[in-house]
Amino acid sequence: MIPVALSPAHPLHDGRTAQSPLVRALRAGTTGERPEITPVWFMRQAGRSLPEYRAAREGVSMLDSCLRPDLASEITLQPVRRHGVDAAIFFSDIVVPLRLAGVEVDIAPGVGPVMGQAYRTPDDVARLVEAELTTEALAPITEAVGLTVDALGCTPLIGFAGAPFTLAAYLVEGRPSRDHLAARALLRSDPETWQRLVDWAADLAGTFLRAQVLAGASAAQLFDSWAGSLSHADYADGAAGASTRALTHVADLDVPVVHFGTGTEHLLPAMRDAVVAAGVRDVVVGVDYRTPLDEAVQLLGGTVPVQGNIDPALLAAPWDVLEAHVRDVLRRGGVAPGHVANLGHGVPPDTDPAVLTRVVELVHSVSAESAAASGVEVR
Ligand code: CP3
């Protein structure tokens, strides 16, 4: 596909990020080339584990900090400066596009997204889907991404959005829940209303993601964090199509896409296929810590790069335990066409930041060792 919509001044096209270890690893499924260094970043790297984050956020609510371009940009850059990770992830939240479309939502500290109401009836959903995400409303996002990529130089920025099912899980429940019972009940009891809801969420998420890529993000990640609560049939009937719809908003931009969820071992091929169906060329599957990476690669037929899957719990373990685990993850990831090292879910808030920096050094040194052993020149 010829990329038509990204400007020649975009970091992927002006020589800044196309050759970065992250972008090369994400594209390894189509190029067949692994970068010499295994790239590493951490989900939720920008956040509560950093004292400089807590200082920057002091007195500003979570969602307000996402909508202040200087602050969102500064927080995005903090983990890159401190840990030397191979990618920045844009500091925002999956519910930010809801807020920008005028939907009442807040993030309660220690709880997560709380909606002004639960959207469960056909009338609730009919009113909700009238909300629109306009280009004007996205201005703080576009501006923050622009400031961030200017400061990042050759380090790629990852843009992200929540997948329609995960967004709908919050909308239908009205707040975080463990099993997403109300959402799963609606999916089967009123498929028409459900479809209306997830199609709207898909366009919202896709619009949010597209704005980040156009403004300078070099990769995109779709978080379907709670998809693992769905059976294969529910995923196929009520979630996959909407995820595809969300990603059609970026398919023409030819940006690599990572699709991630937790507890999704039974869904890995279906999640890959949802991205492929959107017409995305470089498809990568994020794997949580429950499935050994080599098994995930096998389930996926060995053709797509994978991202993951260091167990976040082990960040609190003695270093020798964590080191052995990281080495094992890298060894198993070696069978994939490409591997982006990451955690299997987000950084726990009480993580010692020094441990994250040490994991970055370890991942880089192990991949340099194995490149040297195989005679590849490391640049
Ligand atoms: O560093 C990064 O990864 C970038 C920023 C980011 C945040 N949220 C910031 C945040 C990203 C990528 C997200 C995605 C997100 N948000 C997901 C998908 C990823 C996942 O973790 O599964 C989900 C499900 C949400 C919804 C959400 N927002 C939750 C569950 C929470 C945590 C609630 C809590 O406090 O325990 C939030 C709040 C949130 N999002 C914080 C941050 C840094 C904590 C806010 C704070 O500092 O109090």
Residue 234 has pLDDT above 90, yes or no: yes
pLDDT digits (tens, 9 = 90+) for 287-305: 999 999 999 999 999 999 9
Please report the pLDDT score of residue 176 as a whole number: 95
Please report the pLDDT score of residue 157 as a whole number: 98
44 in catalytic set: yes
| pTM confidence score | 0.96
- Sign of torsion over alpha carbons 69, 74, 77, 79: negative
Residue percentage of the chain with pLDDT more than 70: 98
Hey, which of 44, 180, 356 would you mutate to test ligand 1's pocket, going by the most ligand atoms within 8 Å of its Cβ? 44
With CA atoms as reference, report the closest residue to 144 among 198, 74, 228: 74
Domain boundaries, the chain: 21-374
Q: Residues with Cβ within 6 A of ligand 1?
A: 43-48, 62, 89, 91-94, 107, 109-113, 160, 166, 223, 225, 346
Q: How far apart are CA 273 and CA 276, in angstroms?
A: 5
Contacts of 317 (CB under 8 A, 6+ apart): 325
Average pLDDT, the chain: 96
Please report the pLDDT score of residue 105 as a whole number: 98
Residue 1 binned pLDDT confidence (cut-offs 50, 70, 90):
very low
44 Cα–ligand 1 center, Å: 7
Structure tokens at 221: 């990640």
CB burial readout 95-134, b (16+ within 10 A) else e: bbbbbbbebebebeeeeebbbeeebbeeebbeebbeeebe
Please report the pLDDT score of residue 201 as a whole number: 98
**CATH code matching the domain that covers 21-374, chosen among 3.20.20.210, 1.10.10.60, 3.10.110.10, 3.30.1320.10:** 3.20.20.210
Q: How far apart are CA 202 and CA 164, in angstroms?
A: 5
Hey, which of 92, 94, 178 would you mutate to test ligand 1's pocket, going by the most ligand atoms within 8 Å of its Cβ? 94
| Contact present, 221 and 258 (Cβ < 8 Å) | yes
Least confident window among 2-6, 82-86, 194-198:
2-6
Instruction: Verify cis geometry, omega within 30 degrees of 0, for the bond prior to 342.
Output: no
119 in catalytic set: no
pLDDT digits (tens, 9 = 90+) for 237-295: 999 999 999 999 999 999 999 999 999 999 999 999 999 999 999 999 999 999 999 99
Residue 180: left if φ>0, alpha if ψ -120 to 50, beta else—which one?
Answer: left
Structure tokens at 216: 């300078």
- Sign of torsion over alpha carbons 68, 212, 310, 16: negative
Please report the pLDDT score of residue 376 as a whole number: 58
Q: Between 99 and 372, whose confidence is greater? A: 99
Residue 176, burial from CB neighbour count under 10 angstroms (0-12, 13-18, 19+):
middle
With CA atoms as reference, report the closest residue to 184 among 248, 106, 257, 120: 120
pLDDT digits (tens, 9 = 90+) for 8-63: 999 999 999 999 999 999 999 999 999 999 999 999 999 889 999 999 999 999 99
93 in catalytic set: yes
